């Protein structure tokens, strides 16, 4: 029993159909609990007041915006190396979810930034990096849309994803070099293990982040299923035309 | 390889080859800037390095469209792919000829336009150095974008969408070096980082471009 | 060394079009490919030329030995006949273009820009390109399009000379070239839908 067996579209669809109800339920529960707890049962921050509560939307969205690209990078690599169609289609399915998360992070950031920094937009490294990430998503999706042959499209977008990742990292450092910003340090430093957020804020935030992760997973499974069925109907159409 | 370079240069210089188009575009963009922001010389002097860099970048982008598309249409790319010359080398040569016909003239023209934009005297050397170091990266990255979109009808706009985000690090370091130089600071650090990006892209991007082109020709 | 095709299957746009194609072209011989429009001749030739991978099967003897001529000639309108030919000769590491010019009677046109040639003259230039590659296997896709009877004769003569020198040719064409060559009809090799051929959309069925 190997993990690669789920690269078979039929097996993948079966597993995904069994998992999806639980995923949707868990995602809904976590997001609701995280957001409601965060918005209504946490104290106001002594400096930032109630505006801090947008963190429960902003941070998880930003987290998933980056993770979605990372997932696309991994699935693109799997497609290029092992040529599993499901992998390429999962990358395709993740892109619109990722760009939406990026957009949510940017918009909530602007809404948060207005009362805090007195401006909707600043050319702060973090904001700028997310804007660049948004552009990369845009190019990736546009390239998928522009190519007729699905395998060529998968190949080209995969290479774009790899090259884009390198340049996204380069851009991140370039932007840091270019402008030291206003943005507070990360709320969830993975590397150091320390936290800059107090426990009362942390637990709802954690639940919300888990919820967004599950939501992302459910959305990607759902969209990948749609893409697989689309390909199947195209293949059937092509075959019936070939027979005629 | 020399033959390919000579042919590409010959084509660029003959009628309809598009040599000078990028240069003219660079000139016009730079001339339009004072019209749009006003003729105050101190303002122009502040933004001059950035304007020169942005103008050079857009001029490079403008001519990328023809880099591979013409060869794709008349079947040259199919034949080159079956030739003994590795596709990676062919694409490096293509990028080189793009730089010789577009990037190098921009570097040479930049000081003249710098005078028109009231660039600070200390900045000239930095603008020239950063453009000379940075424009090869623009050509090489652009070749990748051209290879990605060569099979797509009316892929020009899409190519801009794909290539411009890839230009971000080059633009940031290049313009930063020029900007620091122009206000009398030392721009060595961004210049070194820019050189790093240029060398890295020259070394690695042809492989990505060739891989992508093989997928397109298939 | 002979060109040896064994059990090759090819796909066009993700749909398998041919499968189980096997033939051998020995030195000094030519093979004429026949088949109705859309049968997959171009796809097969592109696969043999190495421009796309086969779905399955083996292609032996095609490494760095093939000169491919497709529907487009790879000519630049703003270069002269000599310059176009010299360029391709140099790419393939050759230098002599006189024989090619003479074989297709291009000498009087040598200094004309390729853009000013007629369709048939361009085609002759495209075919002359094969002679400057120095490669033993010519893979030709409809080489006689827009050629008149006289030019077809020139082409047949060039192929005959190439074969006599130990070369090989694989030609997809509908007209009779008057060559002493075997004919290979690809119609029976049309891919059957129920065959598991490994085409791109196979997994989705």
Give the range of the structural domain holding residue A95, as residue numbers without chain letter: 19-182+201-239
Is position A137 within any domain? yes
| Cβ contact, residue pair A164, B166, below 8 Å | yes
| Cβ contact, residue pair B148, A156, below 8 Å | yes
Over residues C25-65, the pLDDT tens digits come to 888 888 888 888 888 888 999 999 888 888 888 888 877 88
Distances (CA, A) of C126 to C46, C56, C108, C155: 17, 31, 16, 11
| Cβ contact, residue pair A238, C201, below 8 Å | yes
3-state secondary structure chain B: CHHHHHHHHHHHHCCCCCCCHHHHHHHHHHHHHHHHHCCCHHHHHHHHHHHHHHHHHHHHHHHHHHHHHHHHHCCHHHHHHCCCCCHHHHHHHHHHHHHHHHHHHHHHHHHHHHHHCCCCCCHHHHHHHHHHHHHHHHHHHHHHHHHHHCCCCCCHHHHHHHHHHHCHHHHHHHHHHHHHHHCCCCCHHHHHHHHHHHHHHHHHHHHHHHHHHHHHHC
Domain count, chain A: 1
Total Cβ atoms within 10 A of residue B44 = 18
Residues C92 and C128: their CA atoms lie apart, in Å, by 14
Is position A9 within any domain? no
Taking the alpha carbons of A212, A218, A223, A224 in that order, is the dihedral positive or negative? positive
Residue in B185, B204, B169, B158 with CA at minimum distance from that of residue B53: B169
Q: What are the chain C neighbours of A238 within 8 Å (beta carbons)?
A: 14-15, 201
Cβ pairs bridging A and B (under 8 Å): 74
Residues B163 and B150: their CA atoms lie apart, in Å, by 13
Over residues C63-110, the pLDDT tens digits come to 788 888 888 888 888 888 988 888 988 888 888 888 888 888 888 888
| Cβ contact, residue pair A235, C13, below 8 Å | no
Partner residue facing A152 (CB), from B158, B166, B215: B215
Mind telling me how many Å the CA of B143 is from chain C's nearest CA?
20
Q: What is the pLDDT, as a whole number, of residue A191?
A: 43
Pairing state between β C168-172 and C137-141: parallel
Q: Provide the token pair at C40.
A: 């997959």
For tokens 């003219």, what's the residue?
B24
Q: What are the chain B neighbours of C51 within 8 Å (beta carbons)?
A: 78, 81-82, 217-218
Is position A11 within any domain? no
| Cβ contact, residue pair B3, C86, below 8 Å | yes
Task: Compare all CA atoms of chain A with the CA of B213 and give the residue at the minimum distance.
Answer: A156
Any chain C CB within 8 A of the CB of A224? no
Over residues C146-197, the pLDDT tens digits come to 888 888 888 888 889 998 888 888 998 887 777 777 888 888 888 776 555 5
Any chain A CB within 8 A of the CB of B151? yes
Is position A119 within any domain? yes
Task: Compare all CA atoms of chain C with the CA of B80 and give the residue at the minimum distance.
Answer: C91
Contacts with A197 (C-beta within 8 Å, 6 or more apart), sequence order: A187, A188, A205
Q: What is the pLDDT, as a whole number, of residue A195?
A: 54
Is position A31 within any domain? yes
Specify whether the CB–CB gap between C63 and C137 falls below 8 A.
no
Taking the alpha carbons of C7, A152, A230, C41 in that order, is the dihedral positive or negative? negative
Q: What are the chain A neighbours of B218 within 8 Å (beta carbons)?
A: 152
Q: What are the chain A neighbours of B142 within 8 Å (beta carbons)?
A: none
| Cβ contact, residue pair B148, A159, below 8 Å | yes
Residue C33 bridge partners (DSSP): C172, C184
Specify whether the CB–CB gap between A225 and A16 falls below 8 A.
yes
Is position A210 within any domain? yes
Q: Say what the ipTM of the complex is.
A: 0.89
Any chain A CB within 8 A of the CB of B111? no
Q: What is the pLDDT, as a whole number, of residue A47?
A: 67
* Contacts with A, C 183-202, CB within 8 Å: 193, 200-202
Q: pLDDT tens digits, chain B, 218 residues: what are they? A: 788 888 888 888 776 667 788 889 999 999 899 999 988 888 999 899 999 999 999 999 988 888 888 888 888 898 888 888 899 999 999 999 999 999 999 999 999 999 988 888 888 999 999 999 999 999 999 999 999 999 888 788 899 999 999 999 999 999 999 988 888 888 888 999 999 999 999 999 999 999 999 998 88
Task: Compare all CA atoms of chain B with the CA of C72 and give the residue at the minimum distance.
Answer: B75
Q: What is the pLDDT, as a whole number, of residue C202?
A: 62
Is position A111 within any domain? yes
* Contacts with B, A 149-178, CB within 8 Å: 152, 155-156, 159-160, 162-164, 167, 170-171, 173-175, 177-178
Q: What is the pLDDT, as a whole number, of residue A193?
A: 45
Residues A156 and B151: their CA atoms lie apart, in Å, by 11
Any chain B CB within 8 A of the CB of A136? yes
Q: What is the pLDDT, as a whole number, of residue A48?
A: 67
Q: What is the pLDDT, as a whole number, of residue A53?
A: 81
Side-chain half-sphere exposure of B216, counting CA atoms within 13 A: 32
Q: What is the pLDDT, as a whole number, of residue A183?
A: 64
| Cβ contact, residue pair B82, C50, below 8 Å | yes
Q: What is the pLDDT, as a whole number, of residue B127?
A: 93
| Interface mutation vs chain B, best among A83, A178, A180, most B CBs within 10 Å | A178
| DSSP H/E element including C25 | strand C15-25
Is position A32 within any domain? yes
- 3-class DSSP state of C137: strand
Q: What are the chain C neighbours of A153 within 8 Å (beta carbons)?
A: none
Residues B36 and B38: their CA atoms lie apart, in Å, by 6
Q: pLDDT tens digits, chain A, 244 residues: what are they? A: 577 777 788 888 888 999 999 999 999 999 999 998 888 887 776 666 777 788 889 989 999 999 999 999 999 999 999 888 889 999 999 999 999 999 999 999 888 888 877 888 888 888 888 999 999 999 999 999 998 888 889 999 999 999 999 999 999 888 888 876 556 666 655 444 445 666 777 888 899 999 999 999 999 999 999 999 988 888 788 777 655 4
């Amino acid at each position: 029993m190997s993990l690669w067996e789920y690269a078979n579209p039929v097996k993948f669809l079966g597993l995904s159909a069994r998992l999806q109800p639980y995923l949707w339920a868990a995602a809904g529960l976590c997001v609701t609990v995280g957001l409601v707890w965060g918005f209504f049962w946490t104290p106001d921050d002594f400096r930032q007041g109630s505006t801090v509560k947008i963190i429960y939307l902003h941070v998880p969205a930003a987290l998933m915006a980056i993770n979605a690209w990372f997932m696309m990078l991994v699935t693109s690599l799997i497609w290029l190396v092992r040529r599993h169609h499901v992998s390429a289609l999962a990358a395709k399915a993740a892109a619109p979810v990722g760009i939406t998360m990026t957009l949510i992070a940017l918009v909530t950031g602007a809404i948060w930034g207005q009362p805090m920094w007195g401006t909707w937009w600043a050319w702060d490294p973090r904001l700028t990096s997310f804007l660049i990430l948004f552009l990369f998503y845009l190019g990736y999706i546009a390239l998928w849309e522009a190519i007729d042959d699905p395998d060529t499209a998968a190949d080209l977008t995969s290479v774009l994803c790899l090259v884009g990742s390198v340049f996204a990292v380069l851009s991140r450092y370039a932007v840091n070099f270019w402008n030291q910003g206003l943005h507070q340090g990360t709320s969830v430093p993975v590397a150091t293990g320390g936290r800059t957020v107090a426990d009362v804020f942390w637990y709802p935030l954690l639940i919300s982040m888990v919820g967004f992760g599950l939501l992302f997973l459910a959305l990607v499974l759902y969209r990948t299923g749609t893409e697989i069925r689309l390909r199947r109907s195209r293949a059937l159409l092509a075959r019936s035309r070939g027979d005629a | 390889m020399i033959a390919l370079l000579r042919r590409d240069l010959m084509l660029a210089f003959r009628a309809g080859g598009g040599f000078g188009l990028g240069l003219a575009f660079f000139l016009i963009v730079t001339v339009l800037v004072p019209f749009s922001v006003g003729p105050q010389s101190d303002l122009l002097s502040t933004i001059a390095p950035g304007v020169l860099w942005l103008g050079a970048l857009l001029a490079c982008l403008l001519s990328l469209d023809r880099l591979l598309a013409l060869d794709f249409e008349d079947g040259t790319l199919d034949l080159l792919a079956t030739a003994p010359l590795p596709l990676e080398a062919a694409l490096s040569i293509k990028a080189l000829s793009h730089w010789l016909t577009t990037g190098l003239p921009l570097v040479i023209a930049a000081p003249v336009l710098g005078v028109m934009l009231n660039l600070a005297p200390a900045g000239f050397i930095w603008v020239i150095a950063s453009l000379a170091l940075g424009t090869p990266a623009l050509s090489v990255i652009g070749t990748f974008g051209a290879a990605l979109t060569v099979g797509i009808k009316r892929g020009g706009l899409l190519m801009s969408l794909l290539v411009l985000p890839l230009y971000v690090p080059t633009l940031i370091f290049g313009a930063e070096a020029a900007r620091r130089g122009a206000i009398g600071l030392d721009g060595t650090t961004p210049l070194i980082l820019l050189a790093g990006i240029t060398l890295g892209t020259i070394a690695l991007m042809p492989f990505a471009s060739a891989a992508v082109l093989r997928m397109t020709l298939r | 060394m002979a060109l040896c095709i064994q059990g090759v299957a090819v796909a066009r746009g993700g749909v398998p079009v041919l499968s189980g194609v096997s033939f051998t072209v020995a030195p000094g011989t030519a093979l004429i490919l026949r088949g109705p429009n859309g049968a997959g001749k171009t796809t097969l030739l592109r696969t043999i030329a190495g421009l796309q991978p086969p779905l399955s099967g083996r292609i032996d003897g095609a490494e760095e030995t093939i000169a491919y001529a497709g529907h487009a000639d790879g000519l630049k309108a703003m270069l002269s006949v000599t310059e176009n030919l010299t360029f391709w000769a140099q790419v393939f590491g050759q230098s002599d273009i006189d024989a090619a010019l003479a074989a297709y009677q291009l000498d009087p046109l040598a200094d004309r820009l390729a853009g000013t040639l007629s369709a048939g003259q361009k085609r002759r230039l495209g075919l002359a390109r094969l002679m400057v590659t120095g490669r033993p296997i010519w893979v030709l896709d409809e080489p006689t399009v827009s050629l008149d009877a006289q030019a077809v004769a020139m082409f047949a003569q060039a192929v005959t000379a190439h074969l006599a020198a130990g070369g090989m040719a694989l030609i997809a064409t509908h007209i009779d070239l008057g060559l002493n060559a075997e004919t290979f009809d690809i119609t029976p090799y049309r891919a059957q839908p129920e065959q598991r051929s490994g085409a791109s959309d196979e997994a989705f069925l």
